[in-house]
Amino acid sequence: MEGAREVEDPPARGWLVPGPQLADRPRLFVLSAALLFTELLLIRWSAAHVVYLAFFTNFVLLASFLGIGVGFLRAGAPRDLSRLAPYALATFALFVGLFPVEVERAGERAFVGLFGMPALPVWVVLPVIFALATATTGLIAEGVARTFARLEALDAYRIDIAGAITGIVLFSAFAFLQAPPLVWAAVAAAGLWWTMAPLGRRAAIALLIFVLVLGVDHFVRGDEWSPYYRVDTRAVDGGTTAIHVNGLPHQSTIHVRRMYAEELFYLEPYALLPDNPLREVLIVGAGNGNDVAVALAQGAGHVDAVEIDPVILSIGRDRHPDRPYDDPRVEHHVDDGRAFLQRTDRRYDLVLFALPDSLTLVGGQGALRLESYLFTVEALQEIRAHLAPGGAFAMYNYYRADVFERFAETMRVAFGHAPCVVRGEDRVDVRDQGVLAVGLTPGDIVCGELMPAVNDVTVATDDHPFPYLGERRIPRFHLTALSLLLIASLVTVRWAGGPLRRMRPYADLFLMGVAFLLLETMYVVRFALLFGTTWFVNALVFAGVLLVVLAAIETARRVRLPSAVVLYALLGTAIALAWIIPQGTLLALAPAPRFVAAIALAFAPIYLANLVFAQRFRDTASSTVAFGANLLGAMVGGVVEYGALITGYRGLLVIVAIVYALAFVVQRKIAPATV
C-alpha cells in the first residue's frame, strides 16, 4: 500500500515475505478474525497481570470498540497507518509484562510490580493500557476498513462477521485446551503477518517481540491458564500449596488436621448440625478441596463437589495433602453452582457455599461476577427446594459488615425465618470472618445467636444480581472512570478519526450501535442465569449472536425486506415480549424447552435489529464511516450498560426500546428514503 511506504522500511527478503498479497475477500476474513482474536487476547492478558482491571475487565473492551470505530473512520485517510499495528501490539505486551500489578499477600492493600517492586499507580496504568489497547485495535481495524471499503457494503459486512466468529471460536478452543499465552500470541502474529504481506523487517521484529514477551512471561512464571485465570501456585511450609489467580491470593491447601487444630472456621457449620446425618452434601466452590476434606472427616456419606475452574480443581486433586478428591464418596463437577442446582434432582442434608469468591467478572460484562447469581433470593429459594427434611444451608467467608447483613437478609427472605450467625475472630482488610446458616425449618439447626432483622437492606435478585452493591447506584470509581473514558474517547475520535460532522448522516446507525450492545449484554446475562456463568456458555452466546447477525445479513442480501416502519414495529414487538416474559418462567422449564424458549426470546430481537441495520447500511454513501459510527455507538452502549446497576438488567430492555425509537425518528429525518 502507498501509505505503508511512508512508515515502513523496504520489504525484507526471504522468510519475511510470505508471497503475493491476499485478495480482498480472504484478506478481510483473516484480518477480521485476527482483530477479534487480538481483542480477546488483550482483554484476557491484561486482566491476568493488572489487578486494577480485576473488576473492570470491560475497560479494555471499551477501548477496543473505540479503536475499531476510529480505525473505520480512518479508512479514507491518505496515509495508511495499519502497518504500525505490530509496533502497538509489541508496546502493549512490553508495558503489561514490565509493569504488572499484583497483591502479594491476602489482606494487604500494597500493590507490587515486577520483582516485588512498588507498582505504578492506577492513574498511570489504566490510561496507558486504554491508550495502547485503542491504538492496537484501531490500527488493525484500519487495515480491515480499507479492505472493507473496496467491497459492496453487505458483502463486506458478512465477511467481517464470519471472520469475527472464527476469531471467537479459535480463542474459545484455546481456552478449552488451556493453551498458554505463547500460543495465543503466535496465532495473532501469524494472522497479522499473513495479511500484511509484504512485511518489513522492523514490523516483523515487533511481532516477534510480542510473541517472545508473552512466551517468556509464561515460562518464567510457570503459570497455568484456566478459562478464567492465570493460576500461580507456590509451595509453603508444611506441605501447603498457595494458589494465586490473576495476581491475587486466592486459596491454600490445608491439611485437615491443621483445620481441626487452627482453622476452626471450616468446622463451624457442622457444629450447628449435631443431629444431621450428612448422607448427601453439596459443596459449591469446592476449590482445592479443603471443604471437601472437612465434610469427609465429619462423616459425609456422599459429597457433590462443584467447582467452576478446572485448573483449581486439578490442583486440589494433585496436591492437596489429604487427597479428598480421590475418596470414592466424592463426585466432582466442573460447573457453575447455580446451573448444577438447576439440573440435579438430588436432595441434600447440607448445602455449603465454601468461599465462592471468583475474583473475576463474566467476560465482557461491566459488573456481573461469576458468583453473582449464587447470592440472589431466587438462588437461595432453589437451594431450599433441594434440601432434604432436616437439611440446612450454610455459607462462610470474610465479609464486609454490609455484605454480611445483606446475605443474612437474603436468607431470611428465601427461607422465611432468621439465619443463625457465628462471628469469627479473624479479620482480613476490612472484612470479618463469619458464618451464616439456616435450616429448612428453624429447628433443624442448633443456634446460639440468630441474626437480627436489618432494616433498609436491598437484597440481590436475578434481575439485579449485585450482592456486593449496597444500593442501586453506580459506584463513584466507575462513574469517574467512565466519565474520563468518554471525554478521552471524544478527543481521540476527533484527533484520529477526523471531523465529527462526517458521522452526522449516520446518527441513526450510532444509536443502533448503542442499543444493540445493550441488547447483546441483556442476553449474555440472561443465558448466564439460565445455563451457568461459565466461559463456555459465554463463548457460545457471543458466537450465537454473531451467527444471528450473519443470518440477518444473508436475509437482507437475498430477500426484499419490508419497509423500515414494519421492521421497527416487529423489533419493538419482540423487545416488548422479552420484557413481559419474566426470567423465572424460563427457569421453571426443563433444560431442553428452556433452551428453545431462550433462543427464541433472545435471538428474535437480535435478528430483527440486524435486519433494520442491514437495510439501512446497504445503501450508505460511505460504508466505513457508517460502520465506524455504529461501532462507536456500541462503545457508548458499553458505558450505558452500567445503568443496570440502577435499573436491573430487565430495565435495560426499556432503554433499548427508547434508543431504537430514537434511531427510527433520526432515520426519518436524515434518510427518509430508507424508511
Q: pLDDT digit string (tens) for 504-527?
A: 999 999 999 999 999 988 888 888
| Bridge partners for 101 per DSSP | 50
| pLDDT recorded at residue 428 | 66
Q: Rounded to an integer, what distance in angstroms lies between the CA atom of residue 64 and that of residue 135?
A: 9
Q: Rounded to an integer, what distance in angstroms lies between the CA atom of residue 39 and that of residue 42?
A: 5
| pLDDT recorded at residue 115 | 82
Q: Rounded to an integer, what distance in angstroms lies between the CA atom of residue 203 and that of residue 193?
A: 9
Q: Rounded to an integer, what distance in angstroms lies between the CA atom of residue 209 and that of residue 207?
A: 5
- Return the closest-CA partner of residue 395 out of 218, 265, 516: 265
Same fold, 230-357+377-444 and 473-675: no
Quote the Cα angle for 110-114-116, to 5°: 45
| Bridge partners for 257 per DSSP | none
Q: Rounded to an integer, what distance in angstroms lies between the CA atom of residue 162 and that of residue 558?
A: 17
| CATH number for domain 230-357+377-444, candidates 3.10.180.10, 3.40.50.150, 3.40.50.2300, 3.10.20.520 | 3.40.50.150
| pLDDT recorded at residue 360 | 63
Where do the structural domains in the chain lie, given as residue ranges? 1-225, 230-357+377-444, 473-675
| pLDDT recorded at residue 427 | 62
DSSP-assigned letters across all residues of 514-553: HHHHHHHHHHHHHHHHHH-S-HHHHHHHHHHHHHHHHHHH
C-alpha separations of 397 from 309, 422, 447, 626 in Å:
19, 11, 19, 50
Residues of the chain predicted below pLDDT 50: 1-20
pTM to 2 decimals? 0.89
Q: Which class for 234: exposed (0-12), middle (13-18), buried (19 or more C-beta within 10 A)?
A: exposed
Instruction: Note the CATH number of domain 473-675.
Output: 1.20.1250
Do the bridges between strand 280-284 and strand 302-307 make them parallel or antiparallel, or are there none, so unpaired? Answer: parallel
| pLDDT recorded at residue 68 | 95
Residues in CB range of 43: below 8 A, 6 or more apart = 57, 60, 61, 64, 363, 364
H-helix or E-strand spanning residue 50:
none
